[in-house]
Amino acid sequence: VPVTAAPDCLFCKIVAGEIPAEVVHTTERTVAFRDINPQAPLHVLVVPREHEPNAAASAAADPATFAEIATTARSVATAEGYDDYRLVFNTGAGAQQTVFHTHCHVLAGRDLTWPPG
Protein backbone atom coordinates (compact mmCIF):
# COMPACT_ATOMS: atom_id res chain seq x y z
CA VAL A 1 0.00 0.00 0.00
CA PRO A 2 1.63 3.29 -1.00
CA VAL A 3 1.75 5.82 1.81
CA THR A 4 2.16 9.56 1.97
CA ALA A 5 4.73 10.78 4.48
CA ALA A 6 4.63 14.23 6.02
CA PRO A 7 7.90 16.15 6.09
CA ASP A 8 9.44 16.45 9.54
CA CYS A 9 7.06 13.89 11.08
CA LEU A 10 8.90 11.67 13.57
CA PHE A 11 6.62 8.67 13.16
CA CYS A 12 6.65 8.91 9.34
CA LYS A 13 10.43 8.69 9.63
CA ILE A 14 10.16 5.62 11.88
CA VAL A 15 7.70 4.02 9.43
CA ALA A 16 10.14 4.73 6.60
CA GLY A 17 13.06 3.31 8.60
CA GLU A 18 14.86 6.65 8.55
CA ILE A 19 14.94 6.83 12.36
CA PRO A 20 15.64 3.62 14.30
CA ALA A 21 13.01 2.10 16.54
CA GLU A 22 12.48 -1.26 18.18
CA VAL A 23 9.79 -2.57 15.86
CA VAL A 24 7.82 -5.47 17.35
CA HIS A 25 5.09 -6.03 14.74
CA THR A 26 4.23 -4.86 11.26
CA THR A 27 1.17 -5.27 9.08
CA GLU A 28 0.23 -3.99 5.66
CA ARG A 29 -1.14 -0.77 7.13
CA THR A 30 0.57 -0.45 10.53
CA VAL A 31 3.90 -0.48 12.35
CA ALA A 32 4.25 -1.19 16.09
CA PHE A 33 7.37 -0.19 18.02
CA ARG A 34 8.40 0.26 21.66
CA ASP A 35 7.93 3.69 23.22
CA ILE A 36 11.27 5.35 23.92
CA ASN A 37 10.06 6.37 27.40
CA PRO A 38 7.99 3.39 28.58
CA GLN A 39 5.30 3.99 31.18
CA ALA A 40 4.62 0.29 31.81
CA PRO A 41 6.47 -3.03 31.33
CA LEU A 42 4.73 -3.20 27.95
CA HIS A 43 4.50 0.16 26.21
CA VAL A 44 4.22 -0.07 22.45
CA LEU A 45 2.96 2.47 19.95
CA VAL A 46 0.91 1.25 17.01
CA VAL A 47 0.86 3.72 14.14
CA PRO A 48 -0.70 3.72 10.70
CA ARG A 49 1.85 3.85 7.90
CA GLU A 50 -0.22 6.66 6.38
CA HIS A 51 0.31 10.06 7.94
CA GLU A 52 -2.79 11.44 9.65
CA PRO A 53 -2.67 13.75 12.66
CA ASN A 54 -5.07 11.88 14.91
CA ALA A 55 -7.19 8.81 15.34
CA ALA A 56 -10.42 10.24 13.96
CA ALA A 57 -8.64 11.50 10.86
CA SER A 58 -7.17 8.03 10.33
CA ALA A 59 -10.55 6.39 10.80
CA ALA A 60 -12.19 8.85 8.40
CA ALA A 61 -9.48 8.33 5.78
CA ASP A 62 -9.59 4.53 5.95
CA PRO A 63 -11.65 2.53 8.45
CA ALA A 64 -9.63 -0.61 7.64
CA THR A 65 -6.49 1.07 8.90
CA PHE A 66 -8.16 1.94 12.15
CA ALA A 67 -9.36 -1.64 12.59
CA GLU A 68 -5.86 -2.90 11.91
CA ILE A 69 -4.48 -0.65 14.65
CA ALA A 70 -6.77 -2.34 17.17
CA THR A 71 -6.04 -5.89 16.03
CA THR A 72 -2.31 -5.18 15.92
CA ALA A 73 -2.48 -3.83 19.47
CA ARG A 74 -4.09 -7.08 20.63
CA SER A 75 -1.47 -9.14 18.79
CA VAL A 76 1.35 -7.21 20.42
CA ALA A 77 -0.12 -7.61 23.91
CA THR A 78 -0.95 -11.29 23.61
CA ALA A 79 2.44 -12.07 22.04
CA GLU A 80 4.06 -10.77 25.24
CA GLY A 81 1.67 -12.67 27.49
CA TYR A 82 -0.79 -9.94 28.35
CA ASP A 83 -4.50 -10.66 27.97
CA ASP A 84 -5.36 -7.36 29.65
CA TYR A 85 -4.05 -4.07 28.37
CA ARG A 86 -4.95 -0.43 27.92
CA LEU A 87 -5.22 1.38 24.59
CA VAL A 88 -4.89 5.16 24.58
CA PHE A 89 -5.09 7.75 21.83
CA ASN A 90 -4.05 11.11 23.21
CA THR A 91 -5.85 13.51 20.90
CA GLY A 92 -4.92 17.18 20.96
CA ALA A 93 -2.22 19.06 22.82
CA GLY A 94 -4.51 19.50 25.82
CA ALA A 95 -4.68 15.71 26.12
CA GLN A 96 -0.87 15.45 26.02
CA GLN A 97 -0.61 14.54 22.35
CA THR A 98 2.96 15.48 21.41
CA VAL A 99 3.43 13.63 18.12
CA PHE A 100 0.81 14.56 15.54
CA HIS A 101 0.81 11.27 13.66
CA THR A 102 -1.89 8.88 14.90
CA HIS A 103 -0.60 6.46 17.50
CA CYS A 104 -2.24 4.00 19.81
CA HIS A 105 -0.44 3.47 23.12
CA VAL A 106 -0.57 -0.18 24.21
CA LEU A 107 0.12 -0.42 27.94
CA ALA A 108 0.27 -3.53 30.10
CA GLY A 109 2.14 -5.28 32.87
CA ARG A 110 1.36 -3.06 35.81
CA ASP A 111 -1.65 -2.04 37.84
CA LEU A 112 -3.53 0.22 35.43
CA THR A 113 -5.54 2.52 37.65
CA TRP A 114 -8.69 4.21 36.42
CA PRO A 115 -9.22 7.08 35.85
CA PRO A 116 -5.66 7.40 34.56
CA GLY A 117 -5.07 10.90 35.96
Q: In what order do the strands lie in the sheet with 30-34?
A: 23-26, 30-34, 42-48, 104-108, 86-88
Partner touching 12 among Zn ion, ligand 5GP, none, CB below 5 to 8 Å by kind? Zn ion
Partner touching 36 among ligand 5GP, Zn ion, none, CB below 5 to 8 Å by kind? ligand 5GP
- Binder among 4, 7, 28, 36 for ligand 5GP (CB under 6 A): 36
Partner touching 6 among ligand 5GP, Zn ion, none, CB below 5 to 8 Å by kind? Zn ion
- Binder among 6, 9, 10, 87 for ligand 5GP (CB under 6 A): 10
Which 55-94 residues touch ligand 5GP, going by CB under 6 A?
90
Give the other-Cβ count within 10 Å of 103's Cβ. 28
At residue 89, what is the residue type? F
Q: Is 103 a catalytic residue?
A: yes
The rounded distance, in Å, linking the Cα atoms of 84 and 57 is 27
Q: Give the residue among 43, 40, 41 at the shortest CA–CA distance from 32.
A: 43
| Residue 113 in the binding site for ligand 5GP (CB under 6 A) | no
Residues designated as active site: 103
